Amino acid sequence: RFLLNPYRGCTHKCLYPCYTCAFSSFNSYYRLFWEKDIPTVVINFPEILIKELDDPNLKFAAWGYLSPTTDPFQKPLEPHYELTYKIMKILIEKELGFEFITKSVPGKKAINLLQGYPYVFGQFTITSNDEEFRKIFEPGTVPYEDRFEAMKNVHDAGIPVILRYDPVEPLFNDNEEIIKDVFSRAYNNGARHVIFSISDKNARYWDVFEDNLRKHQFGHFINDLKSIYIDKQAGELHAEIKYREQIIEKAITIANKIGLTFALCM
């Protein structure tokens, strides 16, 4: 895959750490966002992409990924700059396959562009059915209802869609009934596959995570979360293996009953 990040930083302001947090230690763009909440817009990204794809030394370009670190359809950046739209247009013109992952709503213009193109699929991140959870953990995102509707619109345009229940936040959205409801609604709106993960924590920013929990009146969960996040590997804190096995087995069972194929992003 070739990784396409026209926006360096994200307006979703998710409470759980994301790649902007992990990359802030060595990338000045992400450090600017993490420390000062200022996203960087790579205005000339389409021109750079064309130049790189037309490079005679390029042996192959396998698959485009919009976007590994931040949302390619985030508001207000994408509606204003349309960089994702321009990138997709270039990829289509060059007959290259690609995917997008979003917590936003691709506009009609984008869907019309993709309609009929055989080498694209879309992934929608929906991690709960509880709007209060969204307002705390993903305050800059669109409501879940809007995402289900967007999933249906993309599916109805003939574009395969995938649900991402990604990540699970232990003690918050790991409830079996919530998982079952989100999986069912995604299936009813066109998804036939789900990608699932459990949130990992950057050990350097655990204190920031704790501060955010206290800010939102969840300080009483901190000790329980510490008892879950006991597996430390290469600077990352992972939920302990028994917890992960229980949640993943539960999710696989639910997916099988509904008719969704299942994969992990761990």
Weakest mean pLDDT among 6-15, 27-36, 181-190 = 27-36
Residue 17 is predicted with a pLDDT of: 61
Tokens of 113: 């562009």
Give the pLDDT confidence of 101-116 residue by residue, as tens digits. Answer: 999 999 999 999 999 9
Residue 31 is predicted with a pLDDT of: 72
Determine how β-strand 231-233 pairs with β-strand 236-238. antiparallel
The band of 38, judged by pLDDT with boundaries at 50, 70 and 90, is confident
Q: Which pTM value belongs to this model?
A: 0.92
Contact 186, 151 (CB under 8 A): yes
Q: Tell me the average pLDDT of the chain.
A: 92
Question: Residues 179-187: what's their mean pLDDT?
Answer: 99
Whole-number Å distance between alpha carbons of 190 and 158: 10
Token pair 């350097």: residue: 204
Structural domain spans, the chain: 1-102
Greater model confidence, 205 or 146: 146
The band of 260, judged by pLDDT with boundaries at 50, 70 and 90, is very high
The band of 97, judged by pLDDT with boundaries at 50, 70 and 90, is very high
Give the pLDDT confidence of 216-241 residue by residue, as tens digits. Answer: 999 999 999 999 999 999 888 999 99
- The residues pairing with 3 across neighbouring beta strands, listed in sequence order, are 65
SS (H, E, C) 169-206: CCCCCCCHHHHHHHHHHHHHCCCCEEEEEECCEEHHHH
The band of 45, judged by pLDDT with boundaries at 50, 70 and 90, is very high
